[in-house]
Structure 1
Amino acid sequence: MTACGGSGESDSADGRIELTISTFGEFGYDELFAEYERDNPGIRIIHHKTGQGGPYHEALFTKLGAGSGLDDVVAVEEGHLSDVLASSSRFQDLADIGPSSVTPDRWLDWKYEAGRDKDGKLVGYGTDIGPLAMCYRKDLFEAAGLPSDPEGVKPLFADWDSYFAAGDRFVRDSGGTAWFDSAAQIFNAMQNQLPTGYLDRSDTLVVESNAAIKRNWDQVTAAVEREQSAGLVAFSNEWNSGFKSSAFATKTCPAWMLGVIEEQAGPEHAGQWAVTDAFPGGGGNWGGSYLTVPTQSDHPEEAAALAAWLTAPEQQVKAFRGGGGFPSQVEALDAPELLAATNDYFGGVADGELFAAQARKVGNAQYKGPGDGKIQETASSPALQAVEQGTAPEDGWRQFVDAATRIAG
């Protein structure tokens, strides 16, 4: 039998309601699903897990457009959240159908606010976040005559002016190693710190009218011309290899990036990478997801209850320990298990405590209108890559503006 939301009728022969949930990558939820089923014997969870986020979100929007095929609970990565919020009528308002015990103060303010549409509808419960710190190669800093201990490097990362000034010194004295991996990675971090992003709250493209965007562009591309960039496309094979070949000395580091560095740099570089609780401009966020309940769900209240439980602080700390992302819940950031976490690869740093502090430095949630993620992926990033390959910065800027204009319609 197919149950209607809240009807209590069963989907399966054993009398349980089946709740389907789709995620991508690693959320650390496998053991949590078993725990939820034990505590809720009337529920059976079916997990659809996809490895890569790109194909996952392509399928999500195809099913959303078709009006069928979506699971009861659907994870959405923050880079695609703007397009989900633009279609918020296709999703339940979790503030209405979710457990009354779930209140906004569960989350950091900026995380909660980013999950609401322009009318205040709560489309997603926040899962993890990617608070930003700066990672760097201690041995390369030492060879170039720069300070290398986490406290000593903080002045280098105080703001973007000091960061690029240190890059000039490093490039001069390092013998050819680049300061950072990719212009797009730096520009995206700077862009996300601005009060207004690529689109304002009326969904008007402001790339040309927002002078701060052009200032960031000029600063990054000037650093490219001074040979600070390795010119690597993030997550490409060449970028992966760049960690092993010591192609660059610094890396913008959301909490989840530490695992990427360890995997790509390999055991031969253990202890050479370090991370410090400083980031130019004060802080920022890159990454993190939300759990949504599409209106397609036959069990919206049960689905919302599952999503609420999974995003409770206790469960998010367990998910973090199970390989998932860094928690976005206020109580989780004070959890002893989180604060006691250390990272041997990065010299035994207390990374749980470090990123909890960085998460609290993030300001208000930047509004991201429809197409924001696409502008980043297919407008600004390719234009910056063109500059890294020899295109004049002003020509690259025009390429960026033209592409963004086409996307924004």
Structure 2
Amino acid sequence: MRQRLLATAIATALVAATAAACGAGDAADSKIHLSIATFGEFGYEDLLKQYQAEHPDIVITAHKVGQAAPHHQELFTKLAAGSGLDDVEAVEEGYLAQVLTKADKFNDLSKIGPADAGPDRWLPWKYDAGKSKDGKLIGYGTDIGPLAMCYRTDLLQQAGLPADADGVKALFASWQSYFAAGKTYAQKTGKAWFDTSTQIFNAMHNQHDVGYYDTNNTLVVSSNPDIKSDWDTVTQAIADKESAKLVSFSNEWQAGFKTGAFATTVCPAWMLGVVEQNSGPDNKGKWAVTDAFPNGGGNWGGSYLTVPLQSKHPKEAAALAAWLTAPAQQIKAFVAKGPFPSQVQALQAPELLNTTNAYFGGVKTGALYAEQAKKVAKAQYKGPQDGQIQDNVFAPALQAVEQGKSTADGWQQAVAGAEKAAK
């Protein structure tokens, strides 16, 4: 779930006009035909044209869908069938664990990719997350979603809470201080502190070294004390009336931004556009973003470019994927569509560091999120059904508690659901 979820149209586009004229299967055509499948907004449209201009022997066909789910459903279907995949396939982090269990169906990019696409190009945790358990590099990292916190300055002020850049740091220093401020806010205003318990829980959960699975792919939901602790903390906040009880990305959730239904929301880099679009021009300047995130930092979102073994031109496909994920190109993608780069040099680029956001009071959001990205020590290991457990098990269980189910019964629902999903 990222800014890409806002894209709704499903489009299939031929980037090169010559591809339409010749056709990828034209035996008389001596050019190398590559295809790339993405979803949402990677910011690659102009880059693919540039690549073809610089490589006249290459013709690229781009397939793009609006949302991640249908893209990955098709990817897994074609993997099972053994045919039909594109030369370069994008994989979102929520589906990466499932792809890594099928590492034998993908090329090892550390072996077929260009020499300059080494591990020092990326933040270490981003690079490492793209490797299978046996060390095979499945994907080149594209973007990331370093975490910050967005808040309504006017609503905090009305509750008598600090709302200036320095004052809010104490409120967001830890989860304990965050929920304490939320309890005060709810008591003083009768309104919700945050939008939905699921996003808060996910942010907390992703900060732990061990998540739903250990590195042996053993489900540890019932035995990992951090998961139960997060559950107890978030459900207590629900009981304290801190949650607006909204379903993420629902119509009601989107409307809540305009009406001031909540005062804070977890803000990975891609969320800024979501906040602005849903809040509308009337709320410009009321939202702010702070680099003070409870218990440090974290990441939510990001993707990889892979090269399936089905590709007839794996080295050429790897070269394209490496070029697209080079710092210079990722900065261009960031400027074009906003995906936040994961490359070390890109995080130092003036084009990123000097980027400001007028909607959020002119703060240098590029520099802010670049610093947040550096706070992530390593990516949490994701087991085979990690994404399903997050979205289809814990989210419904938390929502059930928000609708009146007891905390204990909700926890049993989550544990049983996770065990079923993991079978």
CA 1:335–1:395: 2 relative to 1, 3 Å: same
Residue equivalent to 2:151: 136
Asked if 1:328 corresponds to 2:342, the answer is yes
Partner of residue 191 from structure 2, selected from 170, 177, 181: 177
Residue equivalent to 1:339: 353
Q: Aligned partners of 1:280, 1:343: CA distance in 2, in Å?
A: 23
Secondary structure of residue in 2 paired with 1:338: helix
- 1:275-302 deviation per Cα after TM superposition (whole angstroms, max 9, x unaligned): 0111101000000100000011111000
Q: Which range moves more in the overlay, 52-61 or 246-255? A: 52-61
Asked if 2 retains the 8 angstrom alpha-carbon contact of 1:92 and 1:295, the reply is yes
Residue equivalent to 2:5: none
- 1:117-164 deviation per Cα after TM superposition (whole angstroms, max 9, x unaligned): 111110000000000000000000000001111221011111100000
Q: Aligned partners of 2:63, 2:416: CA distance in 1, in Å?
A: 38
Partner of residue 89 from structure 2, selected from 67, 74, 80: 74
Secondary structure of residue in 2 paired with 1:136: strand
Point out where structure 2 has 5 or more consecutive residues left out of the alignment: 1-23
After superposition, residues 21-170 of structure 1 pair within 5 angstroms as 21-170=36-185
Residue equivalent to 2:314: 300
How far did residue 16 of structure 1 move? 1.3
Residue equivalent to 1:245: 259
How far did residue 388 of structure 1 move? 0.3
Q: Aligned partners of 1:151, 1:124: CA distance in 2, in Å?
A: 39
After superposition, residues 376-395 of structure 1 pair within 5 angstroms as 376-395=390-409
After superposition, residues 203-242 of structure 1 pair within 5 angstroms as 203-242=217-256
Asked if 2 retains the 8 angstrom alpha-carbon contact of 1:11 and 1:18, the reply is no
Asked if 2 retains the 8 angstrom alpha-carbon contact of 1:10 and 1:16, the reply is no
Give the percent of matched residue pairs that are identical in Structure 1 and Structure 2: 63
- 1:74-109 deviation per Cα after TM superposition (whole angstroms, max 9, x unaligned): 000001100000111111100011011211010001
How far did residue 365 of structure 1 move? 1.5
Q: How many residues of Structure 1 are paired with residues of Structure 2 in the alignment? A: 400
Q: Aligned partners of 1:309, 1:287: CA distance in 2, in Å?
A: 21
Letter in 2 for 1:34: K
How far did residue 14 of structure 1 move? 4.3
Point out where structure 1 has 5 or more consecutive residues left out of the alignment: 1-8
How far did residue 12 of structure 1 move? 6.3
TM-score scaled by structure 1? 0.96
Asked if 2 retains the 8 angstrom alpha-carbon contact of 1:317 and 1:327, the reply is yes
Q: Aligned partners of 1:11, 1:191: CA distance in 2, in Å?
A: 51
Partner of residue 316 from structure 1, selected from 313, 318, 330: 330
Residue equivalent to 2:282: 268
Q: Aligned partners of 2:296, 2:407: CA distance in 1, in Å?
A: 27
TM-score scaled by structure 2? 0.93
How far did residue 13 of structure 1 move? 4.5
Q: Aligned partners of 1:224, 1:124: CA distance in 2, in Å?
A: 39
Letter in 1 for 2:187: R
Q: Aligned partners of 2:26, 2:245: CA distance in 1, in Å?
A: 53
CA 1:168–1:379: 2 relative to 1, 3 Å: same
Letter in 2 for 1:63: K
Q: Aligned partners of 2:51, 2:183: CA distance in 1, in Å?
A: 53
Q: Aligned partners of 1:364, 1:356: CA distance in 2, in Å?
A: 15
Letter in 2 for 1:216: D
Residue equivalent to 2:293: 279
Q: Which range moves more in the overlay, 72-81 or 58-67? A: 58-67
Q: Aligned partners of 2:338, 2:366: CA distance in 1, in Å?
A: 13
Q: Aligned partners of 1:14, 1:156: CA distance in 2, in Å?
A: 63
Q: Aligned partners of 1:21, 1:168: CA distance in 2, in Å?
A: 48
Asked if 1:199 corresponds to 2:240, the answer is no
4+ residue segments displaced more than 4 Å: 9-14
Letter in 2 for 1:49: K
How far did residue 67 of structure 1 move? 1.2
How far did residue 60 of structure 1 move? 1.3
Q: Aligned partners of 1:244, 1:11: CA distance in 2, in Å?
A: 53
